[in-house]
């Protein structure tokens, strides 16, 4: 019996020493102390022993039993320690995203706004932003577009429901252009004026690659003595060349706008086809980028400014279109969508 106990002790201490996982130790524990384990079965043989033998074997058996239990427990600790260390040393294979790469930046349209505002600040223009939700009179009537006049068809918009206010229906609307800022300024009766606005406008539009219900306009208005079309031409070239480079080409085309006389459309040579005609410029070879002209005398009538003394120019252009030309962006809808690929590119 004594030999058997020594044999078990020797065999299992060796096995425990070699074990390298908790799973292995669990099965060694079962093999010793489980229902049919070698240690568990030994006491069944004790009755066969003589009294003196039993007195000797009893303590020896208990000592070996405890030693093996402790050895397993100690080894368990060691294996656990090892696995923690291994985890600590393990290299992460999934790379984190560097913080720098995830830093946000200003939207392309906002960057452009800053650039243009800076450009015109240098010429002494100051910013005057008029409301987006506007009264009919500033968006239309004071701009020589009377009620029910066919020219209103050029600017269909969204009207605000004013049924809960004491306001006649149809008087409050989303402004269709930034042109609402100059009658607001002019009605103050002070000249000279040299102001600009860069902001959102809205139209009831059929949406396509070049038209959106929400878009930006940049507009300048200059009122003073001896202001002429020559000033208009200068401002247009100043802007176009600063943005598209010295070789940028533009042309003035007579165009009707109720609030200017004469009125012009300003086109810029299509950068996609260089004038040959393509899908983007609807086959014309040119991009219309602005409307402009000399402020109509009727606009002066709704102000205290004397049209005999003062003249004025106004000029409104589509910065979104301009960005499309500059960066060869084919669809205006990108400006309003949160497409990350687009946003991160610029
Ligand atoms: N307000 C015009 C538009 O939105 C553009 C324009 C501005 C035309 C100033 C002439 C003078 O179409």
Q: Are the C-beta atoms of residues 116 and 319 closer than 8 Å to each other?
A: yes
d(CA 265, CA 251): 8
Q: In the predicted model, what is the mean pLDDT of residues 170-186?
A: 95
Report the separation in Å between the CA atom of 155 and the middle of ligand 1, taken as the mean of its atom positions: 11
Mean pLDDT score across all residues of the chain:
91
Q: Which DSSP letter does residue 253 get? A: E
Q: Are the C-beta atoms of residues 273 and 285 closer than 8 Å to each other?
A: yes
Among 195, 251, 189, which residue's Cα sits nearest to residue 220?
195
Check residue 101 and give its pLDDT: 66
Check residue 84 and give its pLDDT: 86
Terminus-to-terminus CA distance in the chain, angstroms? Answer: 86
List of residues 6+ apart from 39 with CB closer than 8 A = 8, 32, 33, 64, 65, 68
Fold annotation for 108-345:
BirA Bifunctional Protein; domain 2 (3.30.930)
Strands 193-202, 214-224: pairing is antiparallel
Q: For residue 297, what is the enclosing H or E element? A: helix 297-301
Q: In the predicted model, what is the mean pLDDT of residues 156-165?
A: 92
Check residue 55 and give its pLDDT: 87
d(CA 20, CA 63): 25
Among 25, 14, 11, which residue's Cα sits nearest to residue 82?
25
293: left (phi > 0), else alpha (psi -120 to 50), else beta?
A: left
Write the CA distances from 160 to 130, 132, 166, 172, 175, integer angstroms. 17, 12, 13, 5, 11
Task: Give 318-333 pLDDT, tens digit per residue.
Answer: 999 889 878 888 899 9
Is residue 6 pLDDT above 70, yes or no? yes
Considering only CA atoms, give the Rg of the chain.
43
d(CA 276, CA 269): 10
Nearest CA to ligand 1 atom 4: 177
Domain chopping of the chain, boundaries: 2-89, 108-345
Model confidence at 104, pLDDT cuts 50, 70, 90, reads: confident
Check residue 12 and give its pLDDT: 94
Neighbouring CB atoms inside 10 A of 127's CB total 13
Report the separation in Å between the CA atom of 2 and the middle of ligand 1, taken as the mean of its atom positions: 110
Write the CA distances from 12 to 20, 26, 45, 65, 144, integer angstroms. 14, 13, 20, 11, 105
Lowest mean pLDDT among 44-58, 86-100, 106-120: 86-100
Best of 239, 314, 322 for a ligand 1 pocket test (most atoms within 8 Å of beta carbon):
314
Q: From the centroid of its chain, how far is CA 176?
A: 25
Is residue 257 pLDDT above 80, yes or no? yes
Looking up tokens 């980028």 gives 289
Model confidence at 255, pLDDT cuts 50, 70, 90, reads: very high
Report the separation in Å between the CA atom of 218 and the middle of ligand 1, taken as the mean of its atom positions: 10
Looking up tokens 């568990």 gives 40
Q: Which is the closest atom of ligand 1 to the Cα of 201?
A: 4
Query: What is the CB < 6 Å shell around ligand 1?
Result: 177, 179, 219, 257, 260, 263, 291-293, 314-316
Nearest CA to ligand 1 atom 10: 292
- Which residues does the annotation mark as catalytic? 155, 177, 203, 217, 260, 314
Check residue 46 and give its pLDDT: 85
Q: Which is the closest atom of ligand 1 to the Cα of 217?
A: 4
Q: In the predicted model, what is the mean pLDDT of residues 28-34?
A: 92
d(CA 31, CA 188): 100
Point out which residues pair with 288 in neighbouring strands. Answer: 267
What percent of the chain has a predicted confidence (pLDDT) above 70? Answer: 99
Report the separation in Å between the CA atom of 222 and the middle of ligand 1, taken as the mean of its atom positions: 14
Task: Give 43-67 pLDDT, tens digit per residue.
Answer: 888 888 888 888 888 888 999 999 9
Check residue 17 and give its pLDDT: 93
Task: Give 223-232 pLDDT, tens digit per residue.
Answer: 999 999 999 9
Comparison of pLDDT for 125 and 90, the residue scoring more: 125
Comparison of pLDDT for 44 and 140, the residue scoring more: 140
Q: In the predicted model, what is the mean pLDDT of residues 127-147?
A: 95
Q: In the predicted model, what is the mean pLDDT of residues 174-203?
A: 95
Model confidence at 133, pLDDT cuts 50, 70, 90, reads: very high
Report the separation in Å between the CA atom of 336 and the middle of ligand 1, taken as the mean of its atom positions: 22
List of residues 6+ apart from 213 with CB closer than 8 A = 202, 203, 204, 205, 207
């Amino acid at each position: 019996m004594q030999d058997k106990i020594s044999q078990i002790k020797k065999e299992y201490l060796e096995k425990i020493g070699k074990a390298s996982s908790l799973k292995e130790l669990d099965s060694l524990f079962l093999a010793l102390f489980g229902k049919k384990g070698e240690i568990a079965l030994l006491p069944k043989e004790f009755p066969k022993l003589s009294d003196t033998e039993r007195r000797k074997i009893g303590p020896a058996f208990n000592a070996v039993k405890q030693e093996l239990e402790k050895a397993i427990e100690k080894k368990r600790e060691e294996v656990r320690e090892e696995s923690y260390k291994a985890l600590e040393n393990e290299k992460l294979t999934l790379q984190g995203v560097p913080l720098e790469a995830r830093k946000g930046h200003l939207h392309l349209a906002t960057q452009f706004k800053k650039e243009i505002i800076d450009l015109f600040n240098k010429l002494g223009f100051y910013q005057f932003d008029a409301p987006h939700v506007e009264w009919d009179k500033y968006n239309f009537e004071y701009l020589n577009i009377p009620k029910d006049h066919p020219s209103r068809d050029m600017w269909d918009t969204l009207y605000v429901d004013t049924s809960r206010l004491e306001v006649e229906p149809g008087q409050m609307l989303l402004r269709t252009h930034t042109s609402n800022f100059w009658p607001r300024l002019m009605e103050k009766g002070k000249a000279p004026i040299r102001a600009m606005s860069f902001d959102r406008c809205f139209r009831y539009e059929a949406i396509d690659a070049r038209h959106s219900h929400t878009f930006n306009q940049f507009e300048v208005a200059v009122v003073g003595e001896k202001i002429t079309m020559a000033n208009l031409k200068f401002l247009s070239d100043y802007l176009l060349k600063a943005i598209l480079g010295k070789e940028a080409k533009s042309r003035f085309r007579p165009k009707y706008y109720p609030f200017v006389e004469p009125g012009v459309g300003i086109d810029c040579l299509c950068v996609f086809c260089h004038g040959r005609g393509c899908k983007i410029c609807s086959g014309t070879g040119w991009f219309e980028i602005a409307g402009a002209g000399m402020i109509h005398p009727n606009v002066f009538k709704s102000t205290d400014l004397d049209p005999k003394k003062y003249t004025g120019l106004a000029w409104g252009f589509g910065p979104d279109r301009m960005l499309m030309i500059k960066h060869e962006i084919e669809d205006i809808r990108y400006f309003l969508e949160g497409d990350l690929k687009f946003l991160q590119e610029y």
